[in-house]
A = this chain, B = another copy of it.
Amino acid sequence: MITFENDYSCGAHPAVLERLLQTNLVPQPGYGFDAFSDSARSKLRAACACPTAEIHFLTGGTQTNAVVLASILRPWEGVIAAETGHIHVHEAGAPEALGCKVLALPEHQGKLDAGELRTLAATLLRDENVEHMVYPGVVYLSHPTEWGTLYTRAELEAISAVCREFGMRLYLDGARLAYGLMADGTDVDLPLLARLCDAFYVGGTKCGTLCGEAVVFPKGAPDHFLNFIKKHGAMMAKGRLCGVQFDALFTDGLYFEIGRQGVQTAARLKTILARHGIPCYMDTPTNQQFAILDNDRYEALRQRVPVGFWSHPDEMHTVVRFATAWYTTDAYLETLDQILAAL
């Protein structure tokens, strides 16, 4: 059985699981105060070249976005995101459940444009009725975006400059960060994120762990961040579960290896799709490939291999996501090739 439905279809990368086995019987304090979490934090700080960073582990992406936003937004502020941003579309209203309004901007292949961001912030802040409006407080980026695309260093610096100009904080959702960091031609790395962002998270769930995301606050965490975690139901008694896994991910470059493998597999996948005449909806350099199929072919395909439904661009077609991950073997690709040939 194979799948391209998403990048969380299997368990943990074997090296991560092995580390859970090795450490299983070592007693440790709860709630993230364990030695494994500390070790993982040290390795993450080193990888970010940011000795001052405070790092906390949470279990999943939606939770992480909601808790971080609740902690860095002030009560009169909202968060700016692309209209395709995960927090705006696919989190069932989790930010709003904590009282955070999402201010949506147009997307450009999933990305915010620094100029449009500047215009929105400037317009809001010079509006004579701003006391009746939601202030622009935080800018949310995802990298890779929901379309698998990437910001360039220059784009991030431009957005960061707008944030500084208007007193906004910059938050980056790195659910699939491993694939972004290892994409061909990217000039974005962890130290850059630590330099530009007020908060970002290094995704685990979609990059090799059973669960867990590592939130990095380069300049220190908000006051009483542990209480935010607890109050929003995100505190794990066995905080070691995330700590051990991130310790494994950041040992011997495993996180980057996972990223590289996912990206390379996606490149080969793209070749297979092309060979079968299936057009890509967008050209993306990371582990998600979006293809356009007519509806009949989509129905036939999904009977034989799980893929991700994305959207209906028109009545006749379906955009389908193929995702790769550390468990996407050559056999997966060969089987897909045969399925597509027989479709």
User: Which residues on the B side are within 8 Å of A91 (C-beta)?
Assistant: 132, 230-231
The 8 Å CB contact of A133, one of B74, B89, B127, is B89
Known: A21-B17, A97-B99. A11 touches B240 (CB 8 A): yes
CB pair A241 B210 closer than 8 Å: yes
Inter-chain CA distance A227–B26, complex, in Å, is 37
Contact A210 to B233, CB < 8 A, known contacts A92-B133, A227-B131: no
Contact with B along A164-194 (1 / 0, CB 8 A): 0000000000000000000000000000000
Contact B211 A238 (CB under 8 A): yes
A8 CB within 8 Å of chain B: yes
What is the CA–CA distance of A64 and B5 in the complex, to the nearest angstrom?
Answer: 28
| CB atoms of A60 and B8 under 8 A apart | no
Report the interface size for chain A: residues with CB under 8 A from the other chain. 87
Which of A27-35, A37-45, A255-263, A273-281 is the interface stretch? A27-35
**Docked-complex contact A29 and B5, CB < 8 angstroms:** yes
A62 within 8 A of B: yes
- Proximity bits, A86-112, B CB within 8 Å = 1, else 0: 000111111011111110100000000
CB-contact partner of A20 in B17, B62, B128, B230, under 8 A: B17
Contact present for A1 and B26 (CB under 8 Å): yes
Bound: A59/B123 CA distance, A: 30
A161 contacts the other chain (Cβ, under 8 Å)? no
Chain B, Cβ-Cβ closest to A126: B312
Main secondary structure of the interface of A (DSSP, over half): loop
Given known contacts A96-B96, A132-B91, A134-B92, is B23 in contact with A11 (CB within 8 Å)? Answer: yes
Contacts of A28 in B (CB 8 A): 9-10
Complex CA distance for A26 and B12, rounded to whole angstroms: 11
Does A11 lie within 8 Å of B20, measured CB to CB?
yes
Contact between B75 and A224, CB atoms less than 8 A apart: yes
* A149 CB to nearest B CB, Å: 19
Q: Mark A139-181, 1 if CB is under 8 A from B, else 0.
A: 0000000000000000000000000000000000000000000
Known: A128-B309, A224-B75. A24 touches B9 (CB 8 A): no
Query: Which residues of chain B are near A131, meaning CB under 8 Å?
Result: 31, 92, 226-227, 230
Verify A90–B132 contact, CB threshold 8 A.
Answer: yes
19 residue pairs bridging A and B, Cβ less than 8 Å apart: A14-B24, A17-B21, A27-B306, A59-B211, A63-B234, A66-B233, A70-B75, A78-B96, A91-B132, A94-B231, A96-B96, A96-B100, A96-B101, A128-B309, A129-B309, A132-B230, A132-B235, A135-B224, A210-B210
Given A31-B131, A104-B104, A233-B234, 4 new contacts (CB under 8 A): A5-B29, A11-B241, A90-B133, A91-B231
